[in-house]
Structure 1
Amino acid sequence: MTTDRLTIRPTTEPLIGRVSPPGSKSITNRALLLAGLAKGTSRLTGALKSDDTRYMADALRAMGVTVDEPDATTFVVTSSGQLKAPAEPLFLGNAGTATRFLTAAVALGKGRYVVDGDQHMRKRPILPLVEALKSLGVAVEAPTGCPPVTIDATGSFASNRVVIDAGLSSQYVSALLMAAACASDPFEIELAGSDIGARGYIDLTLAAMRAFGAKVEQPSPSVWRIEPTGYTASDFHIEPDASAATYLWGAEVLTGGAIDIGTPADAFTQPDAKAYAVISAFPHMPAVIDGSQMQDAVPTIAVLAAFNEVPVRFVGIANLRVKECDRIRALSTGLNTIREGLATEEGDDLLIASDPTLAGQHLAAEIDTFADHRIAMSFALAGLKIGGISILDPGCVAKTYPDYWDAMGSLGVGFEKG
């Protein structure tokens, strides 16, 4: 998508058809890393090919791992089991999973590793993970509390136990879990406090680790014990992306359509699949929605909430402020661009003044996506019912769903470029 603006043509017909969402970004980046840490050759099928996974694959290549791509949904990863110190800093764009996961993984390498990203990634906090690694005797520095992170690794941890504050992101726990299986001794991870980002993503991490031979026990909700098994090369199939599916579920209920995505909602293991129950209740979604365990689905549901029968308050979404952008602010800004007063921020809650009569109106609005793929894809749904909705920087969807606009077009959605 080379245009800097895409205006959605409202549809008066139900959207009907079949669209297969791409592979899960969350699972693809976990599997790529684990395959890179395993000695031998792993074949990852059903994988996502997007900006985020390309950054991970390129970083592994820079550290001596062979990553082949025989087709559009497959990675073949061959590794010695060691991530060698790269000649240059690892540039990871705005890929949070790649940045957090690699920061922990390279701490058990040998030599200097610099983990960096784009201007947006340099605003995303990583200090809790850095502090946890320091407590393990790792020489690691992140002067701003965000990337770039410099790690001078010696190949081991000085301790076999760490306490991590995961209030901002569950990715800190996932990063340590995946690295811990490569330690020299049994390892224990404990949460500092009970707060954690979407806990379901920890389950994704554990499932992927076990598929590559790791042994993990969880004696309590806040403690994990990991055996020093390392990883075994494996063939691994990646399920479709549940976060991507939310846009298709949203388009279906907004237009009264029937979109077959090829995977039943209850077959997903990703936490964002919980959004299906909320979305399927449209236009009678509840007045209060807790987004804490389906964070990436909140933008989709928030745009749907503009057309709901009753106003909606989103709670448990404070972590959205430190995603690819401040998503609470981006959502309120975009909705208020459509109609002033449509959204209100109260602390970290987001209130939507729902109005079903928005459908069918022409309300010219340029939606600033803040270079955030989820803001672009979710606000495209508003354009299905309201005339004049233009998405700025539509190409940012390449981060996780490069074919999004083609997928919508295949269902009959029309666009005007430029």
Structure 2
Amino acid sequence: MILLIFYFISAKALITYDQGYYNGFSLPVSPGFICKDNFQQIENVPFREAFANIPQVILGLEFLSFDKGINYKLSITSTTTTYFEIQIECITSIQVFSVEFSWYAIDDQRIQVINNFNMNPPDVKVFDHINPNFESGIVSITSLGIQGDIDFQLSISSITRTAVSVSITKVANKIINLTQIGYQVILGIQEAFKDSNNYPLSSAYNSGTLKQYSNRWLFLSFTGFNMSSTLKQKVTRYLSPLSYQMNTFDVGFVNCNHQISWLAYQFTTIYKPFECQSVRLSQSNDAQASTKPPIQIYIQELNLTLDQSSNNITNQLTLNFQVYVKCQTQKKIVSQFLRCYECTTNKYHKLQNYCNQQIDGVTYFLKYYQQQQTFKKLSIQIASDSINIIQVLYNQVQIEQKILEISVQSI
């Protein structure tokens, strides 16, 4: 008898988002959590499955229990495709009893998470961001150092195409008591956030029945406190009907600023690159060729002439390029221009031009079009014998799509 044994290996799909709740920094859940006098604790929080790429991790505080005089630092110290590492450190002799949070992990470039953990002293700050199409954002407090009465609120004061500014209110004689603060800035495209609100609360809060949005998380966090006594506030979520409450226990309610937002973890917005609609070229014997740079590009809509590399952001739907390339004997100019991004074949217009004694310069007249009314990031790379234009696209993954390539090569 011949036995045939077949081995089946099941490949698990890689995930692009995940969420959970962490209560390991809390008494009595963790009996050894005596968070004072420079106590430190580091934990690994696993994802349900592996990500293809290292995700961004967002924290939303939902249970805090401590008094004035605390100084706890909370930070994500590392992230892999299978877990993230979280660390808490309590500096002073005043004990922190609970810091619990919901966490959200996402592998998508249409959202960016900027970590500003444990800032000392608290102040206004400006951060660079990657995506020129970020339109809105939220802030989420992660850590606090408090040596007396405090009264402050964090907010995003401006978002430009390249940077975001976070402001903090400074109430006289109280801001000095906020010795340290940590927070995250979560930025996104228009689709990223829905029904975002920041509520100033002075008593226990009941959300009432909420509308469930598909492919979105209900994100809750704090953005500020007006605190002169012990803080013991906890968010409790309910599935049926969908709602949540914020309550206190044993002590009075501490005035706070409470952030709510429906945060997308799957998107329908897909950014696409410019495509070349027409190509025309002129070959010439230019008497002034010796005075011109080897390669030069003029962008009509931007009224911009370049003979060196440059990065540009534009919201134009159409761009007309005029590219001059100096031609030398025994050389050829090889070029390709993206014509159909989603095509599997015939994606590019491709040309070859040979140089000789009658041709010492070639000028390309190119018309590119992209129908999305969005901001486009272009990296124009110019060398002595080549020019490339790369458009950076921020979708689920970042793509650097080459839309123009011209090079001078030996025959």
TM-score when normalising by structure 2: 0.32
Highest relative contact order (Cα 8 Å, sep 6+), 1 or 2? 1
The structure in which a higher percent of residues are strand is 2
Larger Cα-atom Rg: 2
The structure in which a higher percent of residues are helix is 1
